[in-house]
Structure 1
């Protein structure tokens, strides 16, 4: 693994590597929802997405140069990485930013759990890998937990034309993420390093994003408010370079189906932040939801197994 020492297997020989990587994704992405709000209100959505991943790709590129890491990929590998970048970084986040303009983050958090099911199905179709029952069961219990957590917000949510548009955009985001995740797993199965994968995928994603910007004649102007740039740097460095470095290593080590469970856990971090800064009030429903998410996570990761009948033991 060629990422900074925090992602080094040798450095983590005495620790549970997957648990640490999972925690990094959850903690970082659980806080990026706040930063994204500063992005969607200040500039054209696709411009913000393109600049975010351009900065991230540049940071990874500089790291490669300093550490003398190879950028080389075969033509076939470039094709796969370009597809991963298009779906995972360009389309996924463009749809996500747009969806967040139309629907409340509570509904978006509930809907985001669908990424796991997309990953499971596409992983079976594209990679011919078996459907792991513990992932489906754990994800379903986790989805129930997310629904319990956000039930009060969903009950008072009003329906509107904007809601329909938000649902369509959210579906596009999660479908794109599922496709990108599975292609990324296929790329990483070919022994490409996470560093190479993320550099080229982000670069291709940036290229596609700005092609769409130019074709649609989207204004390239950026705001002058400092909060926009603080959020941009946080999203680029922590949300993209660090979190996606950890996430792709999880995909490589665990598979895209299990790695995607982070989407069910990081809303809990968002709630913790909201508790401190926005006076979020916990209810019995939300506490039960958190317990369900954690139980689902334990099942999906193989840490908790349900009793089975021994029908064939006689």
Structure 2
């Protein structure tokens, strides 16, 4: 495990060096989209025996411990002031804990398409939060790109959007997903603040994941949820993929991306990950593409071009 942790960290360090070029930014952007798009399928493999809150806690606990061991062995673990520790704790509670609780709760009622539509609003919420908390300029092209992309997501999931009704629990579930999206945006802003203070992003994520997983374990105890693990190859395989690839790698890339292009444009990843999830679903779950989905794909990609064209 220790050797594997060092190998992973060295590989990620090489990717971070590559990231400093303009081509590298696009490379990391695409890799992050591909990774997070694939995590939806991995999450489905975890559903069943272990409660989702406990599975999320396992995911970030494993990720945090692996990075902690790797940084300790490589001698790159630095001391962080208490003033900054508070922001790392806040980043953990927002980005690695609270947003998952609300979105997972809403997902139990809403179809995945509507969840993706609500989460795609992060392009807008990131821009608004950046303006309020970091005095970042409002960008009309990022706003337009977000609206275009959201329209594309709505087209892709037309049947699910059309079936939405205010008569059942769907409205409450959508509101929960929106709260989760807002918490994720606030977590992005805290991450951007930590990047601005020149804190090491990998260590920030590691500490945030440990804070987040600790809060989730505590919540599990309060809710009376059994803290168990399923010892099947499917569960353990998906757990390690979500921890090492979907968390250690993807969140490091994403937080670095926030520091390079800003939270607004980095947030556009929320619009692209459902597309990757649909491609995987078409391969493994016999998802059938429609003309609506194709038109939506064009809009999402067009919006992405608008958002990133000045890079």
TM-score, scaled relative to structure 1 = 0.90
Find the counterpart in structure 2 of residue 151 from structure 1: 158
Question: Matches of 2:117 and 2:190 in 1, distance apart?
Answer: 24
**Structure-to-structure mapping, 1:184-223, within 5 angstroms:** 184-223=191-230
Structure 1 unmatched runs, 5+: 305-314
Question: Matches of 1:292 and 1:84 in 2, distance apart?
Answer: 32
Report SS of the residue matched to 1:8.
helix
Find the counterpart in structure 2 of residue 311 from structure 1: none
Out of 16, 22, 32, the residue aligned to residue 8 of structure 1 is 16
Deviation at 1:163, TM superposition (A): 2.3
Tell me, yes or no, if the aligned pair for 1:102 and 1:165 is still in contact at 8 Å.
Answer: no
Report SS of the residue matched to 2:46.
helix
Tell me, yes or no, if the aligned pair for 2:16 and 2:253 is still in contact at 8 Å.
Answer: no
Structure 2 unmatched runs, 5+: 1-8
Deviation at 1:157, TM superposition (A): 5.4
| Deviation larger for 81-90 or 228-237 | 228-237
| Deviation larger for 61-70 or 37-46 | 37-46
Out of 115, 119, 122, the residue aligned to residue 108 of structure 1 is 115
Find the counterpart in structure 2 of residue 233 from structure 1: 240
Report SS of the residue matched to 1:129.
coil
Q: Larger % of helix: which?
A: 2
**Structure-to-structure mapping, 1:55-74, within 5 angstroms:** 55-74=62-81
Question: Between Structure 1 and Structure 2, how many residues are aligned?
Answer: 303
Deviation at 1:94, TM superposition (A): 2.0
Question: Matches of 2:47 and 2:78 in 1, distance apart?
Answer: 33
RMSD of the alignment, in Å?
2.1
Question: Matches of 1:262 and 1:182 in 2, distance apart?
Answer: 15
Report SS of the residue matched to 2:157.
helix
Question: Matches of 1:300 and 1:234 in 2, distance apart?
Answer: 30
Q: Which digits, 9 at most, give the CA deviation of each residue in 1:124-152, with x for residues without a partner?
A: 11111111111111111111111111113
